[in-house]
Structure 1
Amino acid sequence: MKKILLVLLTAASFSACNEGKKSETKPETAMTSNTAFSTLLEDYYEEGLQLNPVSATTAGDSRFNDQFPNTLSEAYRTKLRTYYTSYKEKLNAFSSKDLSETEQMSKAILEWECNINLETMSFNKDKYLPIDQMWSVNLFMGQLASGASAQPFKTVADYTNWLQRLEGYLEWLKNAETNMREGIQQGYVLPKSLIVKVLPQLKEMTEPNLDNHLFYSPIKNFPDSFSNTEKQELTEAYTRIINDKLIPAYQSLHDFMATDYLEAGRESSGIAETPEGEAYYQHQIKLYTTTNMTAAEIHQLGLDEVARITMEMEKVKNEVGYEGDLKSFFNYVRNNKELMPYKTPKEIIDNFNAIHETMKPKLNVLFDQKPKTPFEVRQTEAFRENSASAEYNPGSVDGTRPGIFYTPIPDATKYNVYSDESLFLHEAIPGHHYQISLTQENEKLPKFRKTLWYSGYGEGWALYSESLGKELGLYTDPYQYFGMLGAEMHRAVRLVVDTGLHSKGWTREEAIQYSLENEAESEAGITSEIERYMANPGQALSYKIGQLKIQELRKKSKEALGDQFSISEFHNQVLATGCVPLALLEDKIERWIEEKL
């Protein structure tokens, strides 16, 4: 699941699953809710929405749909720093002995939130490197502008809200260019290989023919209820802002990045080559894995996992009767035309829906709690399809907007299906869709916990979900099972190459070569992945670290509980707290085991 870091609320964005249906590890009947503490949590959430109004929109809260704060300004950063500092101080007024167990968990999470975000703000990376080819605000704003995402375009007020939001976004774009110019002087600049990927994304937004401009899309899709006068006024307003402001802003940014910025671009690949780079990378490890592991420890873990998974891959290679070595088998799988059976994107979408139908009976065994939020599979929008990965976008908190699994299909005839089952389990069901929607639907969670995202937990759960394929009636085809192993290998390789790039001085080319030698992804796909890690150090580590922790907790629970162990109950317990740092999840499962015994 790709996360858009809209502001410096780096750990707080989207979420994971369900607490209310099962109680936490200790009954709370003897302790009533602490009203003052509940008010604190509500205030924290409300102030957070005002600071991050786009996150409010993605959660389905429309109160701030006209706002887009300049998150790059010093005034905003000061306001955000005060926000976290003040709530950290307010937490000290509450003793854990006066709080229920759920409230104690909320206190621990909120303390983590304040600390990790203040730590993030102590670094300058986000200030001087606000734009990249995959993670940055401008890409998410394109999704909203399409009219097919979280920003609503159903009423005249919706249309005017977007115009106001664009004014704030234009200020952000201008500030981004200013900061990047200063970043050149301060030693913060993107690698050249990433800059050249950003340029066509910016260039596309300078399209002079409005009928082909992404930001003009809402005008081409007016609701029938609009009067002719309303349509005319809105058309004129959108035409003015796109022609007079938006296109010039994108043109200015494009021209700067294509000349001065590209010339200053780094030849190096890792974040260690920037000021405070080593310390920043250790912070990113903590942020994304929610552990205190070192880069060296993670690198070795990755090497060990690559070796283990390689042995499993060898078994599949032998099962299908392939006589060459594993590396040549990767190429065989990549280029096997029998694994590229489709001609249209619709056929690919239909296949994902068929996977869902196949596993529905087994889902009832492994999960006795399922989300009410609707779910859809869609093709990734054309403007970002060539550089996008498959991803999940959460539904609204109230469940009225569906969760959406986006899959890029630049050329359906070259789409290889060998990993589709594991991909669906991860990005859709029971991965991100179950985890996120169940949390958002849980009425016992405070609001701020419904929209949290910790990558170690969230991506760890999604990767763990891939391992459930055989239990869900999938992976009967050895190539699909190889696809699962390939997906797991992909995450193991990430441990090696991400730490290699950012702590061991590896070049982009060395990281690409290591990946090519150890997994079956295409060279184009691997190149895109390596550049993804270059843009957002540490994020790629979260998947495997989280998966291994959940698998460890399942094994520990089963061994300790014996006949009392229920897989659906275990899944309830893992999902019950929503997204949490892994140490808090481990404490919770250990308390659950003790209570059961």
Structure 2
Amino acid sequence: MTVRAFMLAAVSFAAIAAAAPALAQTLAPAQPAAATAQETPSQRLHRLFRESDEDSLRRNPIQAMFRGDFRYADRLGDYITDEYFAAERAAAERDLAALRAIDRAALNATDRLAYDVFEHQTRNNLIDLQPDMLALTAVRPINHFSGFHTFYPVFASGRSAAPFRNVEDYENNVRRHQQFVTGIDRAIGRFRQGLASGVVETQLTIRNVIQQLDTQLAVAPEESPYAGPLQNFPEAVPEAERARLRAELIAVIRDGIYPAYRRLREFLQTEYLPHAREGVGLVHMRGGDRLYQRRIQDNTTLPLTADEVHNIGLSEVARIRGEMDAIRSRVNFNGTLAQFFEHLRTDRQFEPESREWMRERYYAIGRQVDERIGQYFSTLPRARLEIREVEAFRERNEAGGSYQDGTPDGSRPGVFYYNAYDLPSRRTYGMETLYLHEGAPGHHFQISLANENEALPNFMRFGGNTAFVEGWALYAETLWDELGMETDPYQRFGGLNDEMLRAMRLVVDTGIHSKGWTRDQAIQYMLDNSGMSRTEVVSEVERYIAIPGQALAYKIGQLKILELRARAEAALGDRFDLREFHAQVLMTGALPLAVLERKIDDWIASRRAA
């Protein structure tokens, strides 16, 4: 998944800002410029896009920094105040009113596409900003998978989006830390509201958060990720200033951040945990059924029910099991499929030799993909792709791989993170498909090509939805044959194993949050239907518990893209060009799936008429 989303959950911080509001200072909204008689509908539309984007960046400085815009880098603010939510809600209502005043029929095809995406995204955001939804979400501000307590140390480490170019950047970093401390205390206040209303997190997720806090607090302030920027001062920071900046940073870590972590830990352990719910699914939480249906529609961008998603998952699990059994026969394994799974998860021949070996193997996979990828994509990202190991302080609860996007100008590379925690549990046969998903041509291509496309309005360059983003990354795994991957049957099993993971997610996520499955029941289902290790399965199941519905997006999105490719191949025959299809999918950003379907249908019609 992406570190933005969640921008990015995902998670994909390409996943925090998209999945949850980022910490932001509440600012007065920018007043939209008055329309002029000379403006065309297209000019009014693009002015709306620019004004909306600029206003959003002022409210959400972290999003700006991830885009390489450091005008607001002195502020972090608070992402969970009533004032913040009110400002976001008012902005969405203003934007929709301005959009309705523009005649969609007078726009060209490209602008109509942008109009539709903007409307969908704004309406979608507005739903989650309503008081009834916030009553179920804002009072649960932190869990072990989606929380500022784990995102912020990476952000502030000098290896992420926060700038450390000069004295001002270092001083801004201290200012942000002070606001982060305020944010932690306000999170405690939100948790207390949830205790009063009966809307609480699970015992499992809170215990995991406490463990994460213990891990960070066990490290001396001088050795924490927060102290990372002190390791390599840039030349623009004069030697005479460095001692002062070092002292100020260590002081705010030691006297501000660490005490805030301890206050949060003490509150969670003594006040909150005794009242947290034992049932892990939203079905056990007050208002949980309504929230889960909302999470399904938000993450898939389609009007699906929990039962529909569950049944799609069961069908896909059965299909993939058949292909896995064919691999078992191909390698002449004498035993059942369940015994083959156990062989794959326990035989030492599938263990990475070392962390260093794992790193070098990913480098080699990247070189192999690079040799062929230009044959199937007409445009390649400008941003470099860097391969890094997940940092020790967060590796225990992280997924096997993730992606953090770079800057549009290429000055900061995209990063594929692989997880080497509990090294013997990591399986070598999953490495190729993980790189295709998180690296190239998965998240790195989709996110970078959108970010770098200056012809798009910013909300399409930098926004998106999980179904498209993760659906594309899972679709990228299906390009293994074209890219010369998975020629070994065990690597092909690794591809099927990863696809099985996404199919099982449809079953397990809905099982937990709609049908009342327990954690152990979900773990056993995944062990019975894949070659995943118990460590991997536990991490996955606890992720679904923490961020309901997000995991549904992968398979639903992939199935839609595969459906559209098959439709185009059948309709165009010899005129079908895979490079052109990929450009149609990728070069207008992460579209809601219904909007993507209309776009591809229009493209097919235009190619047939040509």
Sort the TM-score into its range (normalised by shorter chain): over 0.9
CA contact (8 A) 2:88 2:129 kept: no
Q: Secondary structure at the match of 1:547?
A: helix
1:43 equivalent in alignment to 2:51: yes
Measure how far apart 1:550 and its partner are: 0.5
Aligned partners of 1:5, 1:67: CA distance in 2, in Å? 20
Q: Secondary structure at the match of 1:383?
A: coil
Measure how far apart 1:210 and its partner are: 2.5
CA contact (8 A) 2:433 2:477 kept: yes
1:571 equivalent in alignment to 2:579: no
CA contact (8 A) 1:174 1:249 kept: yes
Q: What's the counterpart of residue 293 of structure 1?
A: 304
Mapping of 1:84-103 within 5 angstroms? 84-103=92-111
C-alpha spacing 1:147/1:416, structure 2 compared with 1 (3 Å): same
Mapping of 1:316-335 within 5 angstroms? 316-335=327-346
C-alpha spacing 1:341/1:447, structure 2 compared with 1 (3 Å): closer
CA contact (8 A) 1:6 1:54 kept: no
Identity %: 38
Q: Secondary structure at the match of 1:406?
A: strand
CA contact (8 A) 2:389 2:419 kept: yes
Moved over 6 A (4+): none
Q: After the TM superposition, which of the residue ranges 85-94 and 363-372 deviates more from structure 2?
A: 363-372
CA contact (8 A) 1:33 1:100 kept: no
CA contact (8 A) 2:405 2:414 kept: yes
CA contact (8 A) 1:554 1:570 kept: yes
Measure how far apart 1:472 and its partner are: 1.0
Which of 294, 297, 319 is equivalent to 1:308? 319
C-alpha spacing 1:415/1:6, structure 2 compared with 1 (3 Å): closer
The C-alpha deviation readout for 1:398-433, integer Å capped at 9, x for no partner, is: 221100000111254553211111100000000011
What root-mean-square deviation, in Å, do the aligned CA atoms of Structure 1 and Structure 2 show? 1.9
CA contact (8 A) 1:13 1:451 kept: no
Q: What's the counterpart of residue 347 of structure 1?
A: 357
Amino acid at match of 1:64: Y
Q: What's the counterpart of residue 246 of structure 1?
A: 257
C-alpha spacing 1:360/1:218, structure 2 compared with 1 (3 Å): closer
Which of 274, 286, 290 is equivalent to 1:275? 286
C-alpha spacing 1:208/1:571, structure 2 compared with 1 (3 Å): closer
Aligned partners of 2:46, 2:216: CA distance in 1, in Å? 45
CA contact (8 A) 1:11 1:113 kept: no
Aligned partners of 2:419, 2:384: CA distance in 1, in Å? 21
1:108 equivalent in alignment to 2:119: no
Mapping of 1:8-19 within 5 angstroms? 10=18
Measure how far apart 1:9 and its partner are: 5.8
Measure how far apart 1:288 and its partner are: 0.6
Amino acid at match of 2:474: L
Measure how far apart 1:212 and its partner are: 2.1
Q: What's the counterpart of residue 429 of structure 1?
A: 440
Q: Secondary structure at the match of 2:386?
A: strand
1:358 equivalent in alignment to 2:368: yes
Number of aligned residues? 580
The C-alpha deviation readout for 1:442-461, integer Å capped at 9, x for no partner, is: 12101121111211111001
Answer 1 or 2: higher relative contact order, Cα 8 Å, separation at least 6. Answer: 1
Aligned partners of 1:456, 1:537: CA distance in 2, in Å? 14
1:128 equivalent in alignment to 2:136: no
Amino acid at match of 1:65: A
Q: Secondary structure at the match of 1:471?
A: coil
C-alpha spacing 1:208/1:369, structure 2 compared with 1 (3 Å): closer
Amino acid at match of 1:56: A
CA contact (8 A) 1:419 1:480 kept: yes
Q: What's the counterpart of residue 394 of structure 1?
A: 405
The C-alpha deviation readout for 1:302-345, integer Å capped at 9, x for no partner, is: 000000000000000111111111112111111121112422x2
Aligned partners of 1:11, 1:215: CA distance in 2, in Å? 24
Measure how far apart 1:272 and its partner are: 2.1
Q: What's the counterpart of residue 388 of structure 2?
A: 378
Q: What's the counterpart of residue 491 of structure 2?
A: 480
Amino acid at match of 2:143: D
Structure 2 unpaired stretches of 5+ = 9-15, 23-38
Which of 466, 469, 473 is equivalent to 2:477? 466
Q: What's the counterpart of residue 66 of structure 1?
A: 74
Q: Secondary structure at the match of 2:375?
A: helix
Q: Secondary structure at the match of 2:199?
A: coil
Q: Secondary structure at the match of 1:168?
A: helix
CA contact (8 A) 2:504 2:526 kept: yes
Measure how far apart 1:11 and its partner are: 5.5
Q: Secondary structure at the match of 1:198?
A: helix
> TM-score, normalised on structure 2?
0.92
Q: Secondary structure at the match of 2:62?
A: helix
Measure how far apart 1:226 and its partner are: 2.9
Structure 1 unpaired stretches of 5+ = 15-30
Q: Secondary structure at the match of 2:121?
A: helix
Aligned partners of 2:352, 2:215: CA distance in 1, in Å? 31
Which of 572, 582, 607 is equivalent to 1:596? 607
Amino acid at match of 2:116: A
Mapping of 1:511-550 within 5 angstroms? 511-550=522-561
Q: Secondary structure at the match of 1:247?
A: helix
Aligned partners of 1:182, 1:341: CA distance in 2, in Å? 46
